[in-house]
Amino acid sequence: MHRPGSEEPIIYTGPSMRPTFREGDILVVRPYKDHRLRRGDVIVFHPPGDINRRITHRVVAVTPEGIITKGDNNKETDPWLLGPDEIVGRVVYVRRGERLVRIHGGLWGRLMLWIRRLSLRLDTRISPVLSPFYHWLARSGILRRLIPQRIRPRVIAFNRTNGREMHLMIGHHVIGRLMPGSKSWQIRRPFRLFIDEASLPTGEDKEIKDFS
């Protein structure tokens, strides 16, 4: 159980909170104590009647009858009303590799979610047009030669309970990851243009070094 007054890290799994969270994110959860719960907060809670299960969703309504939640990637709200005793706390930060990303709640949290969704919709419409040229440019390797030696990407491995997770880093920024059990790297655009993907390690490689 969560100790009052402490911040508890939780490893995020599942698709329900995409794009806010990614598989393997480490969530930092803070008890509410004297803070007021607001619509737009991302909270960790026990669903009614199941003290051994924890869910991370966003508050979409606070009513006299209870608190209504919903996953950012879900179409429907959760089928329960939460009481204060079922809430573990609110997510205040997420750790991604070496980065610590703040998770906003309230009005600002709702605004950030709207911006992310709009960006994804625009990306969905534009990507089919630009995708062939993007992948051709990535395969050509033309831009890889332009990267200064001091900022060449490197791979860092983390041992998780379900296997080894690898992050592709430039400086302190995670630009790609290979999740445990996966054979395909997920690389953020436009960084694929500067990476020789064939040289990246797989989950079976034991040696981790710099790759570019």
One domain for residues 102 and 147 = no
One domain for residues 169 and 92 = no
Q: Please tell me what DSSP assigns to residue 169.
A: E
The pair of three-digit structure tokens given for residue 211, joined into one six-digit string: 């790759």
CATH number of 85's domain: 2.10.109.10
Asked if the model's pLDDT at residue 59 lies above 90, the reply is yes
What's the confidence (pLDDT) of residue 146?
A: 67
One domain for residues 13 and 69 = yes
- 3-class DSSP state for residue 168? strand
Weakest-pLDDT range from 66-75, 79-88, 143-152 = 143-152
One domain for residues 89 and 172 = no
What's the confidence (pLDDT) of residue 211?
A: 41
**In whole angstroms, what is the distance from residue 105 CA to residue 202 CA?**
37
One domain for residues 102 and 19 = yes
What's the confidence (pLDDT) of residue 4?
A: 38
Question: What mean pLDDT is predicted for residues 156-168?
Answer: 85
One domain for residues 84 and 15 = yes
What is the rounded average pLDDT for all residues in the chain? Answer: 81
Q: Does 129 map to a domain? A: no
Strand 42-45 versus strand 26-30 pairing type: unpaired
Q: What is the pLDDT of residues 1-17, one digit of tens each?
A: 333 334 667 899 889 99
One domain for residues 94 and 15 = yes
Q: What is the pLDDT of residues 93-113, one digit of tens each?
A: 999 877 888 898 998 888 888
Question: Please, which pLDDT band fits residue 210 given cuts at 50, 70 and 90?
Answer: very low
One domain for residues 40 and 86 = yes
Please give, one letter per residue, the 3-state secondary structure of 40-101: CCEEEECCCCCCCCCEEEEEEEECCCCEEEECCCCCCCCCCCECHHHEEEEEEEEEECCEEE
Q: Does 164 map to a domain? A: yes
Q: Does 168 map to a domain? A: yes
One domain for residues 103 and 20 = yes
What's the confidence (pLDDT) of residue 5?
A: 39
One domain for residues 76 and 155 = no
One domain for residues 189 and 98 = no
Q: Does 172 map to a domain? A: yes
Q: Does 209 map to a domain? A: no
One domain for residues 20 and 86 = yes
Question: Please, which pLDDT band fits residue 161 given cuts at 50, 70 and 90?
Answer: confident
pTM: 0.57
Asked if the model's pLDDT at residue 142 lies above 80, the reply is no
Weakest-pLDDT range from 57-61, 132-136, 162-166 = 132-136
Q: Which domain holds residue 93?
A: 8-107
Tell me the percentage of the chain whose pLDDT exceeds 90: 32
Of the candidates 84, 107, 130, which is a domain's last residue? 107
What's the confidence (pLDDT) of residue 123?
A: 66
**C-beta atoms surrounding 41 within 10 Å:** 26
Of the candidates 55, 80, 107, which is a domain's last residue? 107
Q: Does 45 map to a domain? A: yes
**In whole angstroms, what is the distance from residue 119 CA to residue 115 CA?**
6
The pair of three-digit structure tokens given for residue 168, joined into one six-digit string: 């592709």
Asked if the model's pLDDT at residue 206 lies above 60, the reply is no
Which of these, 159, 143, 156, lies nearest to 191 by C-alpha position? Answer: 143
Domains contained in the chain, number = 2
Q: Does 122 map to a domain? A: no
Q: What is the pLDDT of residues 6-57, one digit of tens each?
A: 466 789 988 999 888 988 899 999 999 878 899 999 999 999 989 899 999 9
